[in-house]
Amino acid sequence: MAALTPISRKPMSLVLPTVAAAGGFFGLFVGTANGSGLLGVLIGAALAVVLALVYVSVLKNEALSKWINIALFGVLGYVFGGGIAPAIIGLVYGWFIHWFTYWLYEGRYRARLLPYLTPGQVLWHYSFRVICGAIFTFLITPILVVMPLSFNAQDFFTFTPEMLRLDPAGYSLKHYQDFFTNNEWQRSFKNSLIIAPIATVISVSLGTLAAIGLSQSHVPGRRAIMAVMISPMIVPLIISATGMFFFYSQIGNWMEGTLGFNKTFVGYVKVVLAHAVLGIPFVIITVTATLVGFDRSLTRAAANMGANPVTTFFRVQMPLILPGVISGGLFAFITSFDEVVVVLFVGSASQKTLPWQMFTGLREQISPTILAVATILVAISILLLATVEMLRRRSERLRGMSPS
Amino acid sequence: MLAADGTPLKKSLARALRMQKMRALMLIAPLLIFVLISFIIPIGSMLFRSVENGIVAETLPLTVAELQNWDADSGELPDEPLYAAFVTDMVAAIEAKKHTRLGTRLNYEQTGMSSLFRKSGRKIKRMDPATDGPFKEQLIKVDKKWGEVETWAVIKAHSVKITNGYFLNAVDMQRTPDGAAPQPEDKRILIKLFQRTLIMSLIITASCIMLGYPVAWILANLPARTANVLMILVLLPFWTSLLVRTSAWKVMLQQQGVINEVLVWIGLVADDARLVMINNEFGTIVAMTHILLPFMILPMYSVMQTINPSYLRAAKSMGATNWTAFWRVYFPLSVPGIGAGSILVFILAIGYYITPEIVGGTKGVFISNRIAYHISSSLNWGLAAALGTILLAVVLILYWAYDKIVGIDNVKLG
């Protein structure tokens, strides 16, 4: 598709006003920061136009003018902004406005588009990209913002001047240190690590069996059974939590009173069971989806050659549906690992999990240790995401679908 | 026709089929039983608790029987037998230490009942039902509320074992001896809260559609390699812990937060006029739109992927403008995706608790926050159960609609 459309240089009557608009837009922010928005717009626009003219008509050397422009705006940022951060913004802007000028001047913006598009359609094409870019920014910014903030040397939830100056003194690992040494955080982390895996094991083992059962050809009341099994995902958590709160407190009393278990143990059992139920729909959905592509004749072939159903299951069926099982398990794990509402209602203080601790922290506004924890959790979720994605591709490859 | 072992083929086939069914059910059974016990029964117990009201009849059996003979509308106080029965019941209840619980229960219906029962309990304890009568004067001397028709009317109204009282409370009404009546003006908050929950969920759904549609479109129309990279930007928030995203929004939106700092830094907002974006409706809507956006994008994307791009080209080749081609050809084909995403987002939104609790303040909370409040703070569990039941009914209706439009089997993840 590259260079589908022949490109030609555009007249200055198009380039200069557009460049001026971009320069003015940037100038507006610099201007308001320094007291006068209007002046900023004018200077920004004028600067962009003059530089564009100089580069295009006088210098006529794209690579050289690029470095000149980047250096120029970097210096301007450093001198007038007074610091490293404005200088970096200057460098980026310098690169951008130069790229933008040549992108317009050489007509490169048309290169990847269909040749018959009208100018209005071209404009819409790029506006649409910008809109989508903004939405993607909206999606990802909150998650990215948390990361640098977690290295804050102060106990603030915001960027300090030292951080903006990129001063090493403004950064520290103390919130991470707090997380790894503070008893309360460690205990809640350990609780999460106890509860989530056990709940996952329960939901995966029961869920996989049931999914295999559901995928057989003759199951009476299939839809009803499916509805019941998916219901924990559909019913809002607050309602599940309310119901479980009433029911599990009675069960708990019974287990403590009649069976004589100790209180902490009963608490863990209640939370684990509750979380296992919440994870089941995810296992069912992913495993059934994998089983749809499972070739039934393989099990018949195995039986034909004398394997009993158990052997068939472990040696033939299981390896093939394993990707689905694992990704279902990951969903179940993350559901339990993330869950606050149910554990808040069903558990007691000794079952405090990591999200619960974060929740109380956020409500009572304590330390930015929360941000350090958040960063660690984001890292974990990146790992999980990568694993699920890999499994999905593997399973599609196995089933002979193109790995798109 | 006979099978190999000599039995008729039909019979043998039926047996094989039965075996197969049995085996499938055996595989399903453990999970089904597990889900039934640890999920469906708890939900059922919640439903039951929203109408269950045995406490008055259990604690004051004789009084309740006597109350049947008394007409609350007459405006006259009950007679001596009722007071005697009441003292007998109370003495037994005090012995079992149940009278304060009854007081708490009745306090939900009328404030002051809790302290009335506690205070009177101390005095009634010293009375002997057999010898100390008559009680009418004595009780009124203990607390003049026992001489008010209203007190007895409340007890009578809530003496039934299965009550609609909690549901009436949940829709800002109250149960009186003459049937349902609206709550006093200053106690009507729940209907407003239901309305707010619905309206804000609708706003969140609408903003998810507006933000999600372009993204889904571009993901479905870019080359696969680029789309996969961009997909990470959608899936990463989806996989990130809810608490992380909520705390991120708290960091972004608060008065000393990142957005305000940036706006002040570039001079768009004065330092003393920072925007209030948290602890109100705005905070809840922004944070929840962000959190639920992937749930909108993913179904839309999977529908749009199946739309053949040549339809659009065909429309354009026949002279349709860009807009006509989109609006008359592409958009109708993408509607199922919008429907699926909207219902999913809406269902998730109306039951949300954590995010409104943290970024919603008092103006941005949902009905679920009220449920949590009644569970953990006011301990009015019956009302919490009734609110939960109403919410559940709404969700189930929507779920049914979702099943009609998309089908449960077509739920996909990631």
- Based on the fold, state whether residues A236 and A352 are members of the same structural domain: yes
pLDDT score for A107: 82
Domain boundary, last residue among A116, A131, A152: A116
* Mutation target among B15, B25, B39 for the A interface, most CBs of A within 10 A: B39
- Based on the fold, state whether residues B153 and B202 are members of the same structural domain: no
- Based on the fold, state whether residues A91 and A205 are members of the same structural domain: no
Closest CA in chain A for residue B267: A33
Per-residue pLDDT of B158-171, as tens digits, reads 888 888 888 988 88
| Structure-token match 């479109």, residue found | B217
B162 token code pair: 């299965």
CATH number of domain containing B213: 1.10.3720.10
- The C-alpha torsion from B59 through B63 and B67 to B73, rounded to 10°, is -80
Q: Which residues lie closer than 8 Å to B272 by C-beta, 6 or more apart?
A: none
Closest CA in chain B for residue A384: B239
Residue B414 has pLDDT above 80, yes or no: no
Name the average pLDDT for chain A: 86
Q: Is there a domain that residue A327 lies in?
A: yes
Per-residue pLDDT of A185-200, as tens digits, reads 999 999 999 999 999 9
Gap between the Cα atoms of B277 and B279, Å rounded = 7
pLDDT score for A366: 62
- Based on the fold, state whether residues A225 and A358 are members of the same structural domain: yes
pLDDT score for B116: 86
pLDDT score for B40: 93
B141 burial (CB, 10 Å; 0-12 / 13-18 / 19+) is exposed
Residue A402 has pLDDT above 60, yes or no: no
Are A143 and A131 in contact, with CB atoms under 8 Å apart? no
Rounded mean pLDDT, B251-269? 83
- Based on the fold, state whether residues B37 and B90 are members of the same structural domain: no
A351 burial (CB, 10 Å; 0-12 / 13-18 / 19+) is buried
- Based on the fold, state whether residues A89 and A190 are members of the same structural domain: no
- Based on the fold, state whether residues B133 and B208 are members of the same structural domain: no
Residue B83 has pLDDT above 80, yes or no: yes
Eight-state DSSP code of residue A368:
T
Rounded mean pLDDT, B177-206? 87
Q: For residue A377, list chain B residues with Cβ-Cβ distance below 8 A.
A: 240-241, 243-244
Most confident of A131-140, A154-163, B80-89, B395-404: A131-140
- Based on the fold, state whether residues A107 and A191 are members of the same structural domain: no
Q: Is there a domain that residue B125 lies in?
A: yes
- Based on the fold, state whether residues B39 and B67 are members of the same structural domain: no
pLDDT band at A365 (very low <50, low <70, confident <90, very high): low
Distances (CA, A) of B192 to A85, A203, B172, B186, B202: 48, 39, 9, 12, 15
Q: Is there a domain that residue B185 lies in?
A: no
Contact A141 B252 (CB under 8 A): yes
Gap between the Cα atoms of B296 and B240, Å rounded = 16
Residue B71 has pLDDT above 70, yes or no: yes
Gap between the Cα atoms of A191 and A195, Å rounded = 6
pLDDT band at A136 (very low <50, low <70, confident <90, very high): very high
- Based on the fold, state whether residues B315 and B397 are members of the same structural domain: yes
Are A318 and A299 in contact, with CB atoms under 8 Å apart? no
Q: For residue B30, list chain A residues with Cβ-Cβ distance below 8 A.
A: 206, 209-210
- Based on the fold, state whether residues B119 and B232 are members of the same structural domain: no
pLDDT band at A85 (very low <50, low <70, confident <90, very high): confident
- Based on the fold, state whether residues A75 and A208 are members of the same structural domain: no
Contact B39 A37 (CB under 8 A): no
- Based on the fold, state whether residues B39 and B101 are members of the same structural domain: no
Q: Is there a domain that residue A328 lies in?
A: yes
pLDDT score for A132: 95
- Based on the fold, state whether residues A73 and A204 are members of the same structural domain: no
If one compares A55 and B3, the residue with the highest pLDDT of the two is A55
Contact A206 B256 (CB under 8 A): no
Contact A273 B348 (CB under 8 A): no
β-bridge partners, B173? B182
Closest CA in chain B for residue A227: B408
- Based on the fold, state whether residues B302 and B322 are members of the same structural domain: yes
pTM (two decimals): 0.85
| Domain extent at residue A70 | 1-116
- Based on the fold, state whether residues A64 and A200 are members of the same structural domain: no
pLDDT score for B412: 53
- Based on the fold, state whether residues B325 and B392 are members of the same structural domain: yes
pLDDT score for A342: 92
Contact A236 B232 (CB under 8 A): no
Name the average pLDDT for chain B: 86
| Domain extent at residue B258 | 190-410
Contact A210 B348 (CB under 8 A): no
Per-residue pLDDT of A284-305, as tens digits, reads 988 888 887 778 888 889 989 9
Q: What is the CA radius of gyration of chain A?
A: 30
pLDDT score for B387: 93
If one compares A147 and A159, the residue with the highest pLDDT of the two is A147
- Based on the fold, state whether residues B210 and B335 are members of the same structural domain: yes
pLDDT score for A4: 61
Q: Is there a domain that residue A288 lies in?
A: yes
Distances (CA, A) of B144 to A329, B71, B140, B155: 64, 20, 5, 16
The shortest C-alpha distance from A392 to chain B (Å) reads 9
**% residues pLDDT > 90 (chain B):** 25
Eight-state DSSP code of residue B181:
E
pLDDT score for B410: 57
- Based on the fold, state whether residues B137 and B208 are members of the same structural domain: no
pLDDT score for B294: 93
Closest by CA to B295, choosing from B410, B413, B390, is: B413
Domain boundary, last residue among A95, A116, A137: A116
- Based on the fold, state whether residues A196 and A280 are members of the same structural domain: yes
pLDDT band at A1 (very low <50, low <70, confident <90, very high): very low
pLDDT score for A403: 43
Within 10 angstroms of residue B322's Cβ, the number of other Cβ atoms is 16
pLDDT band at A404 (very low <50, low <70, confident <90, very high): very low
Q: Is there a domain that residue A126 lies in?
A: no
pLDDT score for A201: 96
Helix (H) or strand (E) holding B173: strand B173-176
Contact B211 A207 (CB under 8 A): no
CATH number of domain containing A238: 1.10.3720.10
Total of domains in chain B: 3
Give the nearest partner residue to A237 out of B248, B249, B353, using CB atoms.
B353
Closest CA in chain B for residue A372: B244
Residue B352 has pLDDT above 80, yes or no: yes
**Which amino acid is residue B34, in one-letter code?**
F
- Based on the fold, state whether residues B9 and B39 are members of the same structural domain: yes
A48 sits in the region (left: phi over 0; alpha: psi -120 to 50; else beta) called alpha
Q: Is there a domain that residue B173 lies in?
A: no
Rounded mean pLDDT, B247-258? 87
Q: How many CA atoms lie within 13 A of B59 on its CB side?
A: 24
Give the nearest partner residue to A33 out of B25, B266, B353, using CB atoms.
B266
Residue B407 has pLDDT above 70, yes or no: no
Total of domains in chain A: 2
pLDDT score for A276: 95
Residue A69 has pLDDT above 90, yes or no: no
Contact A159 B375 (CB under 8 A): no
Rounded mean pLDDT, B234-258? 88
Q: Is there a domain that residue B167 lies in?
A: no
- Based on the fold, state whether residues A215 and A89 are members of the same structural domain: no
Gap between the Cα atoms of A291 and A298, Å rounded = 12
Cis peptide bond upstream of B134, omega within 30: yes
Contact A142 B211 (CB under 8 A): no
Instruction: Tell me how many degrees the CA angle A80-A86-A91 measures, rounded to the nearest 5.
Output: 105
β-bridge partners, B2? B8
Range of lowest pLDDT (A5-14, A238-247, B306-315) = A5-14
pLDDT score for A375: 92
Q: Is there a domain that residue B342 lies in?
A: yes
Q: Is the ipTM of this complex over 0.90?
A: no
